[in-house]
Structure 1
Amino acid sequence: MLLYVGGYNPSGTPSIQGLKLIQSANQTEFKPIATDNQLDNASYLLYVASIKQLFAVSEINNADGANSGWVAQYDLTQPQQPKLVARQLSQGGNPCHLAWLNQHLICSNYSGGNFADFNTKHSVELLPAQTCIQHSGSSVISDRQSQAHVHSVTASPDNAFFVVADLGADKLVSYRFSQTGAIEQVFSLTMPAGSGPRHCAFHPNGKSLYVANELNNTISQVQVNPTTGELALCATLPALAPNNSNHSYPAEVLVDQQGKFVYLSNRGDDSISCFTIAPNSQALSFRSSCSTGGQFPRHFALSPNQDFIVVANQQSDNIRLLNRDRHSGALTLTETLFAVNAPSCVCFITNESSLP
């Protein structure tokens, strides 16, 4: 099983690390297979199995002297030999997230407060962004919310629309592509003041969206009209166990393939929370918590077989493996780890048939 890890790097050192996960009856270990030092601060990675390409952001704000970072493309036709194919301006400072839908690559620019659309329908090679949508607004936490900060884009399960999380403006905004290919705003939902929506994950049925709120240490369930893309806030829960008062900053949120559990990483508490999903309402209830074995779990990914999680502990310079019980949802920290400088993203390399 192959995975790539992206992160922050001193200049001239690798920011992307390729690993092979080797599992046997007696041992599980990460074996390094490749590195890339052509891109600085590759803080987010996205693998598109249908075209065997790995995309990465370079989270900087001065690319080519512009107030922009980079979006890079690597050919993974030979998965253990990444080949840099193209690099384009992200059209905003500090790009931090990538999403893929309908042959469009969408890059979120945190400092730029916008997102850029790279249309790949007519060229597999990444070309300059065709469209850039600027957000505006602010909210109540002055040092983090003085302006719009687009943090992520999440496509609906059927790719009919996508939801943009704006941490700076405390908003979730849904968009779709028109028949002519133009990006149209569908709906804008104002989240609780000071919540700071960061990352989102859809339930497989497309009717609920789960939101990691970075600034007020919570997770929200948002009701979604899967036809129109309209959004409505249902409930907001603490990110941690009810008796846990640790200050923490939720980061990544994922839903398992069966739509039974939600997982949320907590930077500060240094854990991953597990929530059960009610079958009918898709409402959340806290189930359990598991240490990530390191500090500041920035990101994590579920394995294609859903049996374990690999988590990037940014401030501990390592990734750790957690086993997962498919039936109970419970996680268990293992001894398996690998040293990586300031890891911030984990990306499994799968073939198309094994994707969720």
Structure 2
Amino acid sequence: MMRRSFLTAVGLSAVGAATAPTAAPGSGGAVAARPRGLLALIGSYTSSNPAGRGLEIARRAPSGALESAGVVDGVPDASFFAWSPDHRFVYVTNERPDGSVTAIEVTGHRPRVLNSRSTRGAGPTHLAVHPDGDFLFTANYTDGSVVVHRRDADGSIGESTDLVRHPGSEPHAHQVVVDPSKRWVISVDLGDDSVFVYALDHGTGELTEHQHLQLPTGTGPRHLVFHPDAERAYLVAELRSEVTVLAWDAEDGRLTPGLVVGTRRDGASGENYPGEIAVSRDGRFVHASNRGDDDIAVFAVDGPGLRPIGNTPAGGNWPRHFALAPEETSLYVANQRSGTITRLSRDPDSGALSPSPDRYDCPSVAAITFHG
């Protein structure tokens, strides 16, 4: 079952000074004026109803509001982003039954699609570039697999070097990341209630399973993020509305579950499915989105654990994804069902969020990313 169907059933970036995108929505084919300053890349589902625009770019005004700056053609069902280490290239999942990933160059005057490659699976939802820049990893949600591609010298996506399938009766790989030591590739599987740690052979581009961390049945782990100290990680569970603190031993390549905290505000009821999780650059705060409650949970990092601070309304319906602005004084929320990106002001000292009037319309929005 495709990822979006499942959820229905249950309830650029700062490209330097000059970038000239393709035609802006509603511009009648005219090329938008060349924007300057911090840009955002926004992905949306072109096969949804209402149809999204795929990959578009927006400029951030001095006030913090996003302003439309154009659409990059040829990137359907853009649902997640990963940057190359030098931030000259961005890679996008095309979340379709015949899954693919697309490479885009953002160094010139116009974002340029380099190529696309099959993910050898269906419904790719997440991807990551190895910090050394030599490999691209993509998680295929629908059939529970992770595919490896080489990155060519020009930033394009090379041949696939491996495909690993998760075990279990209904695996659904939802995320793939590289640990801070660069030694291990980690995949989170929502359907199998598992996290897999793989060793990567840089010569062959092949993955070898090193740890299979089995979580309680019905957890539904979705996304994992490492703390800046590289000694722990935070795992958000879609089906239990929880965050699990994981100790991380890079030498042994092993995750160990610890404290579990809830993502919902006191008294919250009804269905809820957390979406994204992120840790602040200073390592003091963790944010997680709640789809159903439609808010953003904030936690303070408290020793080895987490302490809930509060929940702030997302300003839209079904916050699938969010991104902290480079300065971390704003948090931009991609609300899939309401088709909006809302901005929450953020206090870096306290981690607290507060609503703002800024709203950007984007039908069936899936994800947003900034450069920097």
Tell whether the structures are fold-level matches, with TM greater than 0.5: yes
Q: Which runs of 5+ in 1 are unaligned?
A: 62-67, 139-146, 351-356
1:229 Cα deviation from its structure 2 partner: 1.4
CA distance in 2, matches of 1:276, 1:269: 20
Root-mean-square deviation (CA, aligned residues, Å) is 1.7
Match of 1:100 in 2: 129
Match of 1:217 in 2: 241
Q: How many residues align?
A: 330
Contact 2:52/2:362 (8 A) holds in 1: no
1:111-190 maps to which residues of 2 (within 5 A)? 111-120=142-151, 124-138=155-169, 147-178=170-201, 180-181=203-204, 182-190=206-214
Contact 1:14/1:38 (8 A) holds in 2: no
Cα gap change, 1:28/1:302 in structure 2, threshold over 3 Å: closer, same or farther?
Answer: closer
Contact 1:7/1:44 (8 A) holds in 2: no
Match of 1:353 in 2: none
1:10 Cα deviation from its structure 2 partner: 4.5
Match of 2:369 in 1: 347
Equivalent in 49, 61, 72 of residue 36 of structure 1: 72
1:179 Cα deviation from its structure 2 partner: 5.6
Match of 2:294 in 1: 270
Instruction: Work out whether 1:258 is the aligned partner of 2:282.
Output: yes
1:123 Cα deviation from its structure 2 partner: 5.4
- Identity value in percent: 26
Match of 1:20 in 2: 59
Q: Which runs of 5+ in 2 are unaligned?
A: 1-37
Contact 1:211/1:219 (8 A) holds in 2: yes
Cα gap change, 1:310/1:122 in structure 2, threshold over 3 Å: closer, same or farther?
Answer: same
1:211-261 Cα shifts (integer Å, max 9, x gaps): 110112211111111222111110222111243234210110000111111
3-state SS in 2 of match to 1:127: strand
Cα gap change, 1:228/1:201 in structure 2, threshold over 3 Å: closer, same or farther?
Answer: same
1:48 Cα deviation from its structure 2 partner: 2.3
Instruction: Work out whether 1:200 is the aligned partner of 2:224.
Output: yes
1:84-136 Cα shifts (integer Å, max 9, x gaps): 11011011101110111132111000012101111216553212321111112
Contact 1:317/1:341 (8 A) holds in 2: yes
1:13 Cα deviation from its structure 2 partner: 6.4
1:155-208 Cα shifts (integer Å, max 9, x gaps): 212322122101111001111213634322221111111011111100111111
2:126 maps to amino acid? H
1:256-295 Cα shifts (integer Å, max 9, x gaps): 111111100000000010011113x2x1111111111000
Q: Which TM-score applies when normalising by structure 2?
A: 0.85
1:51 Cα deviation from its structure 2 partner: 5.0
